[in-house]
Every structure is written in C-alpha cells, then in structure tokens.
Structure 1
Amino acid sequence: MESQSPGTGRRARDLGLVIGRIAPGPFNAITDVPGVRVGHATVRRPPSVHSGVTAVVPGGVGPRTPLPAGVFTGNGYGKLIGTTQLAELGTLETPVLLTSTLSAFRVADALVGWMLEQPGCEEVRSLNPVVGECNDGFLSDIRARPVHAEHVRAALGGASGGPVAEGCVGAGTGTVALGFKAGIGTASRTPDVDGRRFTVGVLVQANFGGTLRVLGRTVPPKADDPAAEGETGSCMIVVATDAPLDARQLTRVARRAVFALARTGAAYSHGSGDYALAFGTRPGGAPVADTELGPLFEAVLDGVEEAVLNSLLAAETATGFGGRTVAAVRADRLLADLAAPMETSR
C-alpha cells in the first residue's frame, strides 16, 4: 500500500492550457479552501489490482459540527452512500471518501469506525457516512474488493493541505476517462463575489465515457493508442468553498459541477454515475445573495474542466486486470492537436 503517490506531475497550466479568466489559488487545488485536506491510500498488486481510496477532509467536520452541503445527481447509475440524509438535511457530518464500486460499503463501515473514535463523538448514536465510487473494473479485479479499513485509516490519517497528488493515485488508481487513463484531478478558483473574495476548490475522480475536448477542440485517442473502448464509467466531483452559502445554494453549485463535464466531452451514458457534492466551510457569516452567485458558478465550471484535464495529464499508461492496457494522454500529441488548424465543413 502507498499512502501518497504522485503521477507524472504534469498539469494543464504546465502546458500553457489556461481555462477561464478567474485566477486559481496558490496550489490550484481543493486544499486552497482553508481547512480542507486530502489524503490517498493506493492499493496495487500488479497485474490484477489497481485501486484505492481518497479522502477529502474538511476541518472540524462531525455530527456535532456539521457543514452545509448540497448534492446533485447528473445520472444516478452509482452508489453515493449517504445521499438521502445529506439531501434531506443539507448537512455533511463526515469526511467525503471516494473509492471503487464494490469496495464502497467496506469503506463506509471503516469511516463510521474512524469517526466514532474522534473527539466529540463519544456519545454519538447516529452517523451518516458519505462515500462515492467509480467502477475501476476495466483495469482492476473489482470483485476482489481490495480496499479495507487499514487503507481508509491511512487516507484519513495522511490527509494534508498543500499540493494534492493527482493521476493514478488513491481512488483514481484504476480509473479511465474519455478513452484515456485518468485518475484524481483537482483545481481551484478565487472569484470576487459582491466585493468579497472567496475560494472554490474541486476534486474529481474521473472515470467516464465520451470523447475528450480541450478548450473546445475534440482530441480523440490515436489509432495506435490502447484504449478502453465502450467504457462508460462514472465521475465523482467534490466541491468545497469558503463562501457562506446555504444548502440550497450549494446544491445549485453542485449542479454546475456536473454540467461542467459536458465541456470535457462527457457522454453522460446510461451506465455512468455522475454526481457532485458541494460543501461550505464557513456556516454563518454575511450570506451571498442568489443574484451574486454568477462568479461562483463560473468558478466551479472552470475548475471542474481543469481538474478533469489534470486527472488525465497526471496519469500514466497502465496495464491491468486481464492484460488490458489504457494509454495516457501524451502532452506532445495533445499540444500538436490543439495547434493544428481546425477542419471546416463546406
């Protein structure tokens, strides 16, 4: 098991690919939102197992100190554990964990065990763990259910601020998106809202079908690239912000996060579980009026688009279960495709 494992280190901005007009935070990551930490535990047993768990940990979150939150389902073919209570009450009371489909239930149980040991939870008798998943069964032996309690505890215990490892790490170790090897990606924006500056951070677990689009240009896999043909997959999106939004407004933010996948070429197929969860780290404070939400919506749209691209650029070509191989996006080919004149139809 690896607790933290970076990908290739390439990001969209390293290649001069800038999405949108709003500036990112210092790390261009969800951890730019004050108090938010991220941890990974990567589970690899080559050639058959390529899986893991990723934890997004808001500071101080718990059943006695819940945070306002909203959730939006773009396509409900998935297992987002804890959705109904989150939607009903508009509150998040645990970290958000991401993992592999058939491991989600073990991860939820392990999250409950970890939470009950935390200070302030000594008398807790009800808890709503929030765990999302993507199906990494194209590259990993998903039936082995390789993610266990020790991996959950490693991800939670190793969660930190600052730069976030991306690509083939944690819950993104075995994922595939848009015909390429994908994984975990993150980005942030610092919009000005009603004279105040806030931070919006996003983290994606990219595993969905479609044809890659970058800055509006279609970039399909090359004929000689081994690709996951027919993979429908899913995408889990976590959005954090220090803007003082209520649960209804955060649900509107989550909705835009799913919309943003269309910019990247998502197909939103029948078998794709596309979910976004948005939480606020600053309950209370001077509220943001609905009429002032435009910059926050723009920030999350741009952030998700960049996070998906980062998840692809940071990933590496992988060979997994059954000898299947999926190619990573090659930066040189991508830049060449983007520089080529666009074909026009008569």
Structure 2
Amino acid sequence: MSPMPYASLSRRVGVLLLGLLLPVASMAQDGTRARARELGVAPGIFAPGRFNAITDVAGVEVGQVTLVEGDNIRTGVTAILPHGGNVYRSRVPAAAHVGNGFGKFIGTTQVNELGELETPILLTCTLCVWKAADAMAAWLLEQPDMQSVRSLNVVVGETNDGGLNDIRARPVTADAVRRALSTAKSGPVQEGSVGAGTGTVAFGWKGGIGTSSRVLPQKLGGWTVGVLVQSNFGGVLQVSGAPVGRELDRYAFQQDVAARTGAGKLADDRGDGSIIIVIATDAPLGDRNLRRLASRGMMGLGRTGSSASNGSGDYVLAFSTAESVRRAFDAPRLETTELANDQMGAVFQAGVEAVEEAIYNSLFMATTVSGNGQTVEAIPLDRVREVLRRHGIAPAVK
C-alpha cells in the first residue's frame, strides 16, 4: 500500500495533522501529560510490550489524522490495519461484542456472521461513519489485486464528539481517511487528543485515543495482546481502585446524590457517551474464542468506573493476526491451528489488563481542548497523583 500524495490536504488552511507529526506514544502533546505507568499505575500482573501499544502485536499498524479547523472543528480519523498486506485477500479471524448497542459500528454484523475481518478498522465521529466507510471502500478498490472485487465489508466505529466538534458539518473528508490508511505504521502510537479522539470526553474530562499491551510469559504461550480505545464515555472514575472521580468532585449522577453545585459539577450527567475498544493478538484464535476475548473487554472497561450507561455505545472488536488462522478469501476449505479453550485464561487476563490501562492512557495523555464554543479540561494529573498516593498506589514524590 503506497503512501498517498500530500498536496491536496496541505492546501487546506488550518488543518493540523497532529497524528502524523507527533507519533511517539509516550510523548505528551504539551509536555505536561503522562501515561499511566509514569503515575505508578500498572494494572494487573503481566508485563507490557516494547511500546505498550496495540502495535506490539507484530504486523498491526495505526494511522491517525487530526482535524482542527477554525473554532468549531475538532475531530479526526484513526485507522487500524491488522497486517501490512491485502486484508481482503488475507483475512484475519475476528469477532465483535456489544456491551451496549447505542451506537454505530458499521460492518460488525458480517464480522460476527462470517467470523472474519476483510478490511482495516476505522474510528471517527458519529455523523462521519458513512463518509469514512465510503472513502475506505473507494481507497481499497483502487489497490492492486482488487479490480474484480464487487463487495466489501468495511468496518467503521464511532463515538459522538458533538460537544467540542461541529459534528453536523460532517468534517471528515475522503482525503483524511486516505491519509490515515496510507500512513499507518507500526511502532509508537500517539495518544490523547488526536485522531478519532480529538473531540472526545471521558468521565467529564478530556478523553481520546489510548493504547496498551501485554505479553504473556513463555510458559503461558508468549502471546501478545494489544488494545486501542477511543474513549468518550462517563461514569465514576476509579484508577486501580482509587476513587479518583469522587475525590476530584466530578462523576456521573453527582447532582442527584450530592445535591450541590461547584466547579467540578457536571450538568445533568448520566454517564452517557461511548467507547470503541479494539483488541489485537498474535495468539492463534478462531472467531469463537475471539468473541469470548472481546466480551472480556467490558471487564476492563468496568474496572475504570463505567456502568455502560443507557446512552453509551460500548463496542469491542477482537482479531487475531496469527498466520495459522489466516483465511484466504477464495480458499475452498480452512485448515487452521487454534489455541485450545483451556489455554484462553491468560489471554483473557491480558486483555482485561490492557483495556483498563489503555483507557487510563487515553485520559491521562489528553490535553485541554476548546472548540464549538466549549472547553473540556484535561484531567489534572497533579491532583490524580495526590489521590493515588493517599490510596497507596502512586509512589511518594521525592
């Protein structure tokens, strides 16, 4: 997949492609942000991979385009490619789990019916999913060895960034989608207010893109599980069990249970919003066990304080990159070697841990964003550190 030319988008005044300019996962956009582990938050028992990102799963690539235009456009696109080849010709087994179906995740019914993914995955804003799907279909049909293709099951998820972003303008363009796809790469993944997370909100603070990974010990298979999230949901934030939302005085249903007003007060908050969770692994899993893995993503989400509110679209999609389970699109029969059910426990554990940490990273790496007449503040990490220290989680400052 060759890179697309840059000329057309460069002529668009005011568009910042932050997802391309600042790719390093551990680098904060403003120098003041930090990933969860820098705060002493390391959920679970398994170690992360080299980048602590979904791209620790060999072959997985991520591309992001951030759109910031004038006073009202704060959105973008995040693309996840399961491998560097033609995904339509070399399909990966996949499955989707719906925690709460108040949202749009194009293509997931066919993913679950056939148990496979035949295109990259795109994340964007709610009213742009159809534009993004159309743009990805056009881009894929132009690729070599796709000239005879007459059907594509493009997969596009969303969360609603209509607070900070003029979502009715449907600002995501085909050019932005093509750039996210054609510039996707392995290695570090930028987090926070970038790509599809540019205008999102989580727990009343600025949300965004977050990622994490886990590598199992060799005696447990040595498999890698990587996660990327687009966080835009609510609830009562807890970090490794510490009641951060309560102690920072910002949480769902606050006006009903606290009956007071203040700077931290959220207006009529019911914990609504959405989250898309993408889980990748090199463990050789078929779609049945991938569906089981995807369902465990909700456990990682719950650990952060979400209750999957009525108005929250909570979706998890899992796929395996293992060569032994790949599916050629025209194969007359499938001969695969899959992990046995009894070997799934550690993979489930790794998935839950990585989801939890990816959500923390999306929150801690996000920066304050103003747009569409509103400002959503980044969660104050100095105060988060204080809460964590009081609860014995973060080390004391020397």
Q: Which category of TM-score, normalised to the shorter sequence, fits these structures?
A: over 0.9
Distance 1:139 1:173 in 2: 9
Distance 1:309 1:114 in 2: 33
Distance 2:164 2:80 in 1: 24
Kept in 2: contact 1:50–1:174 (CA 8 A): yes
2:383 matches 1:333: yes
Distance 2:87 2:162 in 1: 32
Distance 2:35 2:266 in 1: 21
Corresponding residue for 1:145? 170
Kept in 2: contact 1:227–1:325 (CA 8 A): no
Corresponding residue for 1:163? 188
> Residue deviations 1:67-121, cap 9 Å, x none?
1001000000011000111110000000000000000000000010111112221
Distance 1:84 1:128 in 2: 10
* Deviation larger for 225-234 or 86-95: 225-234
2:82 matches 1:58: yes
Amino acid at match of 1:25: G
> Residue deviations 1:153-182, cap 9 Å, x none?
111111111110100000000000111101
2:291 matches 1:276: no
Larger Cα-atom Rg:
2
Amino acid at match of 1:325: T
Q: 1:107 to 1:15 in 2, by over 3 A?
A: same
Distance 1:146 1:299 in 2: 36
Amino acid at match of 1:141: D
Corresponding residue for 1:251? 291
Corresponding residue for 2:97? 72
Kept in 2: contact 1:193–1:295 (CA 8 A): no
Distance 1:158 1:228 in 2: 39
Alignment of 1:36-115 (within 5 A): 36-59=60-83, 60-115=85-140
Corresponding residue for 1:315? 366
Corresponding residue for 1:297? 348
Q: CA deviation at 1:185?
A: 0.1
Corresponding residue for 1:234? 274
Distance 2:114 2:187 in 1: 31
Q: CA deviation at 1:341?
A: 5.2
Q: 1:286 to 1:108 in 2, by over 3 A?
A: same
Kept in 1: contact 2:235–2:307 (CA 8 A): yes
Corresponding residue for 2:20? 4
Distance 1:228 1:110 in 2: 37
Kept in 1: contact 2:220–2:346 (CA 8 A): no
Corresponding residue for 2:263? 224
Kept in 2: contact 1:99–1:132 (CA 8 A): yes
Corresponding residue for 2:339? 288
Distance 2:176 2:170 in 1: 12
- One of 281, 292, 307 as aligned partner of 1:267: 307
Corresponding residue for 2:330? none
Amino acid at match of 1:312: L
Distance 1:256 1:192 in 2: 20
* Alignment root-mean-square deviation, CA: 1.7
Q: CA deviation at 1:14?
A: 1.4
Q: 1:150 to 1:266 in 2, by over 3 A?
A: same
2:173 matches 1:173: no
SS at match of 1:200: strand
Q: CA deviation at 1:187?
A: 0.2
> Residue deviations 1:16-46, cap 9 Å, x none?
2111110110000000000000010111114
2:53 matches 1:13: no
Q: Which runs of 5+ in 2 are unaligned?
A: 1-14, 23-27, 250-261, 325-335, 393-398
Amino acid at match of 1:240: A
Q: 1:99 to 1:265 in 2, by over 3 A?
A: same
Q: 1:311 to 1:5 in 2, by over 3 A?
A: farther
Corresponding residue for 2:328? none
2:369 matches 1:324: no
SS at match of 2:196: helix
2:251 matches 1:200: no
Q: Which runs of 5+ in 1 are unaligned?
A: none
Distance 2:163 2:390 in 1: 32
SS at match of 1:127: coil
Q: CA deviation at 1:139?
A: 1.0
SS at match of 1:138: coil
SS at match of 1:40: strand
Q: CA deviation at 1:15?
A: 1.6
> Residue deviations 1:116-151, cap 9 Å, x none?
112221211111000000000011111010001000
Amino acid at match of 1:4: L
Q: Number of matched residues?
A: 341
Amino acid at match of 2:236: T
Distance 1:246 1:17 in 2: 32
